[in-house]
Amino acid sequence: MPEDLTEDERLNTFIAELIADPRRAKVVAARWAKTVGTNDSVAFLEEACRMLAADKDFDAAAVCFSHVCDLDPAADDDGLHRLHTRFLDFAPQEAIAPKDYRAYAKTLTEKTDPATAHARFREVVCAALDVGFVPYAAVFPDLRALARAAGIKRAVEEAFLADRMLRGGALAGASLKVWQAAVPALERLAVGDEELLRLLVASQPRDGSEDPQVAEQIRRLWLGLLAEVGAGRVLTAEWFAGPGARCPMDVLFALVEQADLPGWRPDNGSVPDDDAQFAAAREFAPGDPADERYTSPGWVSQHSKVQEFAARIQDGATDRTVRTACVEELSGFVARIGYFANVDYRKELAQLWNAGDPVRGFLRQLVDTWIADAASTGLHAVDVALNRLSRLADAGYQNLDPGFGAALPITDPAVALTMTLRAGLPAELTLPGPLGESGDSLPSMLRVALDGERLAVFTGLIVHVMQPGQENIRFRAPTLPNDASVVLWHDGVSARLARRVHSAEGERRFSFSIDPTDRDPRITLDQAPTWPQAPSEAQIVFPGSSGASEATRVSSADGFAYVYGPDGAVTVRIPFGGLQRQKRAPRLVAPPAWWEHLDAVDATGSAALRAVDEAQAQRLLIAGFQGPQTVADAVSEVLPDVTDPRLGAAVAEAAVTAARCTTNAAQLRQRLGLAQPESLPELLRCRPELPFYRDSAAVVGGRLLDALVQDVLAQEPEPDGSMRLVRTVEVPTGAASFWYVGHLLGGSALRTTWSWLSAHDRDRELERLQAMVNTPQSDGSRRWRYRTLKRDRNWSADVRGQLWRTPTSVLAVLSHTPRDTVSMAEYAPDGVFDPRVPDGWPDVTEHVRMPVWGGPDQVTALTRLLAQKDRGPVAFDAGQAILLADKTGIGVPDAAVACFGAENADQPRKIRALYGARVVGYRELDDLRERLMPGDPADLWTTGLAVEEAARWWNSHTHSDR
């Protein structure tokens, strides 16, 4: 270095050389330090450090600073003081390398006590933070280590450091590592502190990273932190358009929900409040006839809650939402009358009626609606109406409202089925292309939305947008919440998303634009919300129709799509909504307004449906009583042109619905004392004095079972001493359960005479008796018996539905539990039964039951006796149970159960005294009770129970439970 240079010239020359060769910066600095001389080198390098830092050449400045620390180490207290002063001086200038910070922390740890080391290092760090930058990435772990040694808790130190970064503005330029370390502390600090929330919002990360992915990670941390601490409440609409644009969906949803933004509100008329785009498809509405789940309201059997319900109905006079909920609740209650065997629904309905208006008025309005629907030609409308009306009649509504049933026109279900098939079934239509297919190829949850004629279908990751006459569009969607609060669509220009938000102030709706270029798409809040615009109903021409003159109205609302008949009644209702969960084989349902663009599933089959007549519908209806496979076979036979399986299944479902309507109509007329129409199928006809009301399924099942057996007898010759499998059939609906409903008539008859039985339970037992004697199995001929086979191991094959011919009988397998049980009914024309089981069946334990009491005449006589009020209840003698025990050898408690049922608080004291520990099983006691009912019911009032006959039977049989 020339000796005649001035101080400034030397510095400039040194800096120029240092910058010219950054890789040799350390060597250059050391050489110049020697040239300057030891005494002046520290000052020289410090000044160079300042100049370099001022010129933003921080790496070169850090080299100078590092060399200064080497030249002037902390050899003693004075040196340590100078070092600390130097750090305080240069830290705000960004002139210190991370290694020097960490070296200084180590020096402080070695040369001072923990508290001093922590305090001094924190002071240096804060000198940098206070001018707006984080000195180095590992500042959190280094300060935590010093704080721990000084006895300061980790959370306290993190909170101090995060707060200082936030207030000093240093956080915005921090690295990913610093953000990751600061976020937990900031989450604890900022919640509820509006000043810190605003500082967080202002700490938008500066894009100082050379890696775009790292920069995006930092931004996501910041946005996520804002959402976590509730910073949305201090955000403005402008922020969402600026820093909040292209935000991850879950984060932006949270911020928008927190922000005080107006959005769209359904109550101001800007959007329809029943828009199907936001509805989730509903498999059933409360109380649907086809719904096997229990949906009755919680106020059943609770008087106080009935009063609360009445008060809510009063509110419903002015609040549409409350009114709708109350109507569904009331309808659900009516539809579930009879669901619980131990609930007296006559009492429940009377209690509801006695609540007065407005409950009574609401119920009358519903009844009027159902009466009108029962007279319509819409199969679904008729189905719901008859379900409700028949249940009301079961509960005695006609006694509460005498005008009920005075004029009750009911559409012939075969006519309703005809009109429904002619009007059109949704299953006739399908989306074009792969999306129209059903099966495992579609996910279990789908979303659809319609904007104009653009149908958007979301299948999990990709949104498919179908445009009639134009090329389809595809775009990637964010990961959506698992509910119906979100709608995806395309407005022809860009992909869009809308969300519904509920709060104490009501419902708000927001829309967003989607940037589909990202692998995980980002969204931006719309300043002027938009919404998919599409009608909720349309007129469409189903395949096979002659033209617009045969257009059918379709619509969507409340989670369903509806098809209407010519009279405006609903013919078909299927689940439909913006969100569609597919529990069984997935099938996507398009918005009804787009059905005109759907493809025909089976054009020939549709044409056949347009021409269906009542005779064909009647044949389908009769098949609907029997079972799924029988109905499917009937569809193929009656409508051979219907070849698509989905369409065939829809026709079969309509047939089953029509059969259910026929049953409910028959029950309703029986309850109201109305004449049955000539079109009533023979399966549902009964003696006027022996109606079957709610037990029609078992009656129909028993009659169909008898028809199967008679067919076998007519077509199959008697085997030569062997048992032969004739065929396997579908067990008729109702027949599978008939064996345990219809074969204990003696016990049921006896129960009707117990004075301690409630009137509700007595009526139910009597109704069951009246129903069962309408079947061949309980006609008093003693030509049927019931067999239950059990084994210790699983059956190797399913034998359900097998019909076996024996030399003297026909054996029908009604049910088969794969674990261990087979239930069978056996018919012997001459009353001679075959004791064997089919060849090849495993060793089993068998229980046989044969009806020993019952028949139309006996049940009719019992009914008349019970109706004679002057006769009074049967005075049962406790001594008869003691006598039965003596003659059979069973214990008195067992005999008491056989004679008088389970112990009951309402039984006479002498009878209650008989009960105690039992030995005999309930099944054996049920069989014994059957024999205790005398052949002539009148004998109960004179001679009492048939103890002698029951004892003779007991003593002549082997009983597994004895």
> Phi/psi at 492 (nearest 5 deg)?
95, -20
Digit-coded pLDDT (tens) for 608-665: 999 999 999 999 999 999 889 999 999 999 999 999 999 999 999 999 999 999 999 9
pLDDT band at 65 (very low <50, low <70, confident <90, very high): confident
Q: Averaging pLDDT over each range in 329-338, 463-472, 690-699, 896-905, which range is the top one?
A: 896-905
pLDDT at residue 165 tops 80: yes
Q: Averaging pLDDT over each range in 90-94, 476-480, 946-950, which range is the top one?
A: 946-950
Predicted confidence at residue 402, as pLDDT, reads 87
Mean pLDDT of the chain: 86
The stretches of 677-831 forming alpha helices (DSSP H) are 696-715, 738-741, 745-751, 759-772
Domain residue spans in the chain?
A: 7-201, 263-288+432-597, 289-411, 695-745+781-849, 874-955
Q: Averaging pLDDT over each range in 39-48, 423-432, 444-453, which range is the top one?
A: 423-432
Residue whose token pair is 């007519």: 714
Query: Residue 670 and residue 680: Cα distance in Å, rounded?
Result: 12
Digit-coded pLDDT (tens) for 212-228: 889 999 999 999 999 99
Query: Residue 96 and residue 105: Cα distance in Å, rounded?
Result: 13
Determine the longest span between alpha carbons in the chain, in angstroms. Answer: 145
In terms of C-beta density within 10 A (0-12 exposed, 13-18 middle, 19 or more buried), how is residue 121 classed? buried
Of the candidate ranges 362-371, 421-430, 508-517, 665-674, the one whose mean pLDDT is the lowest: 508-517
Predicted confidence at residue 792, as pLDDT, reads 63
Predicted confidence at residue 506, as pLDDT, reads 73
Question: In the chain, pLDDT over 70 holds for what percent of residues?
Answer: 87
Digit-coded pLDDT (tens) for 83-137: 999 999 999 998 899 999 999 999 999 999 999 999 999 999 999 999 999 999 9
* Nearest CA-CA partner of 689 in 803, 856, 824: 856
DSSP string, 20-62: H-GGGHHHHHHHHHHHH-HHHHHHHHHHHHHHHHHTT-HHHHH
pLDDT at residue 138 tops 90: yes
Q: Which two tokens stand for residue 532?
A: 């998919």
Question: In the chain, pLDDT over 90 holds for what percent of residues?
Answer: 52
Q: How many helices (H) and strands (E) does the chain have?
A: 35, 21
Query: Residue 956 and residue 962: Cα distance in Å, rounded?
Result: 13
Residue whose token pair is 């005695």: 396
Residue whose token pair is 């039951």: 849
- Name every residue whose Cβ is closer than 8 Å to that of residue 763 and which is 6 or more positions away in sequence: none
* Nearest CA-CA partner of 295 in 284, 310, 282, 281: 284
* Nearest CA-CA partner of 488 in 454, 447, 439: 447
* Nearest CA-CA partner of 643 in 588, 582, 600: 600
List the beta strands (DSSP E) in 576-654.
Answer: 579-581, 599-600
What is the 8-class DSSP label of residue 432?
S
pLDDT band at 962 (very low <50, low <70, confident <90, very high): very low
Element (H or E) spanning 334, and its range? helix 320-335
Do residues 384 and 348 touch, judged by C-beta distance below 8 A? no
pLDDT at residue 917 tops 80: yes
In terms of C-beta density within 10 A (0-12 exposed, 13-18 middle, 19 or more buried), how is residue 146 classed? buried
Predicted confidence at residue 64, as pLDDT, reads 79
Q: Which residue has the higher pLDDT, 141 or 11?
A: 141
pLDDT at residue 354 tops 50: yes
What average pLDDT does the segment 771-777 reach? Answer: 90
Residue whose token pair is 């009491």: 853
Predicted confidence at residue 616, as pLDDT, reads 98
Do residues 184 and 158 touch, judged by C-beta distance below 8 A? yes
Do residues 609 and 544 touch, judged by C-beta distance below 8 A? yes
Predicted confidence at residue 294, as pLDDT, reads 45
Strand partners, 474: 464
Q: Which residue has the higher pLDDT, 172 or 820?
A: 172
Digit-coded pLDDT (tens) for 837-867: 887 777 777 888 888 898 899 999 999 999 9
In terms of C-beta density within 10 A (0-12 exposed, 13-18 middle, 19 or more buried), how is residue 824 classed? buried
Predicted confidence at residue 271, as pLDDT, reads 45
**How many other C-beta atoms lie within 10 A of the C-beta of residue 76?**
10
pLDDT band at 692 (very low <50, low <70, confident <90, very high): confident
pLDDT band at 961 (very low <50, low <70, confident <90, very high): very low
Digit-coded pLDDT (tens) for 236-273: 989 999 999 999 999 999 999 898 787 766 554 444 44
Rg (CA), the chain: 43
- Name every residue whose Cβ is closer than 8 Å to that of residue 135 and which is 6 or more positions away in sequence: 91, 94, 96, 98, 101, 124, 125, 128, 129
Sheet bearing 522-525, strands edge to edge: 486-490, 495-503, 506-515, 522-525
Q: Averaging pLDDT over each range in 8-17, 626-635, 789-798, which range is the top one?
A: 626-635
Strand partners, 557: 560
Predicted confidence at residue 54, as pLDDT, reads 83
Do residues 523 and 514 touch, judged by C-beta distance below 8 A? yes
Query: Residue 497 and residue 522: Cα distance in Å, rounded?
Result: 11
